[in-house]
Amino acid sequence: KNQVEQSPQSLIILEGKNCTLQCNYTVSPFSNLRWYKQDTGRGPVSLTIMTFSENTKSNGRYTATLDADTKQSSLHITASQLSDSASYICVVASGTYKYIFGTGTRLKVLA
Amino acid sequence: GAVVSQHPSWVICKSGTSVKIECRSLDFQATTMFWYRQFPKQSLMLMATSNEGSKATYEQGVEKDKFLINHASLTLSTLTVTSAHPEDSSFYICSATGLDLYNEQFFGPGTRLTVL
């Protein structure tokens, strides 16, 4: 069964600190893996997209990693800001137009 | 980047009425659009996939007669919630993709539906 699991379910950190979110997947076939940021009451916005051959991809303070062998991905947020408070969703694409969503990690950044 | 809009952003209706939600791709041709619903503190759940000019493909458990989807043009898809009931209250999000977009889907801002 295709599954995408994220951890932790929720996370609270202080402004300026770093954090890492985890995504483990069992999806076949694998096309690519995306991380999205979803603000409360808004649609998801893409942060990074990685294919099978990519190990790391950065987007500003966001750095995603992918280990295709262990089927794990992480999203590292550096020097967190209050505006980083959101849900972060890991999505694995399998074939054409088939997407498996993780349950998300809710991040709260406190001043 | 590719932009997707939704209208309305929120709607409140009485039980038994029908509500139409629009999803538009503003700067690209959306050959495929997706409709999701999201309950509080949960992830997105795919309801249906629609290709321009053809009937939508619904996910298991989604009533196609209750959630009518029309994708009549390459820039517009509509979701009509017929005879809405309070349990239909949710956050509805559409996404779209098209040719030369490398399978990436672009999400709309969502529509909050509240059925009284």
With 90 as the cut, is the pLDDT of residue B116 above it? yes
CA A6, chain centre distance (Å): 8
Specify the pLDDT at position B101: 76
Specify the pLDDT at position B15: 96
Specify the pLDDT at position B68: 95
Specify the pLDDT at position B24: 95
Q: Do B103 and A93 touch (CB under 8 A)?
A: yes
For residue A16, how many C-alpha atoms fall within 13 Å in the half-sphere facing its CB? 1
Positive/negative CA dihedral, B101, B105, B110, B111: positive
* Residue stretches of chain A with pLDDT short of 50: none
Tell me whether strands B10-13 and B111-115 are parallel, antiparallel or unpaired.
Answer: parallel
Nearest CA in chain A to B10: A41
Contacts of A32 in chain B (CB under 8 A): 103
Q: What mean pLDDT do residues B47-70 have? A: 92
Q: Does A46 touch chain B (CB under 8 A)?
A: yes
Q: Note whether A48 and A73 are within 8 A (CB).
A: no
Specify the pLDDT at position A15: 98
Specify the pLDDT at position A105: 97
Specify the pLDDT at position B64: 92
Peptide bond into B40 cis (omega under 30): no
Q: Does B46 touch chain A (CB under 8 A)?
A: yes
What contacts A78, CB < 8 A, 6 or more positions away? Answer: A18, A61, A62, A63
Q: What mean pLDDT do residues B83-111 have? A: 91
Specify the pLDDT at position B40: 87
Contacts of B46 in chain A (CB under 8 A): 99, 101
Q: What mean pLDDT do residues B58-63 have? A: 93
Specify the pLDDT at position A97: 80
Residue of A9, A23, A38, A97 for testing the chain B interface, max B β-carbons within 10 Å? A97
**Cβ neighbour number for residue A38 with a 10 Å cutoff:** 21
Contacts of A93 in chain B (CB under 8 A): 103
Nearest CA-CA distance, residue B50 and chain A, Å? 11
Specify the pLDDT at position B41: 84
Distance of alpha carbon B72 from alpha carbon B77, whole angstroms? 7
Give bridge partners of residue B84 from the DSSP assignment: none
With 80 as the cut, is the pLDDT of residue B42 above it? yes
With 80 as the cut, is the pLDDT of residue B106 above it? yes
Q: What mean pLDDT do residues B96-110 have? A: 86
Residue among A33, A23, A77, A76 nearest A54 (CA): A33
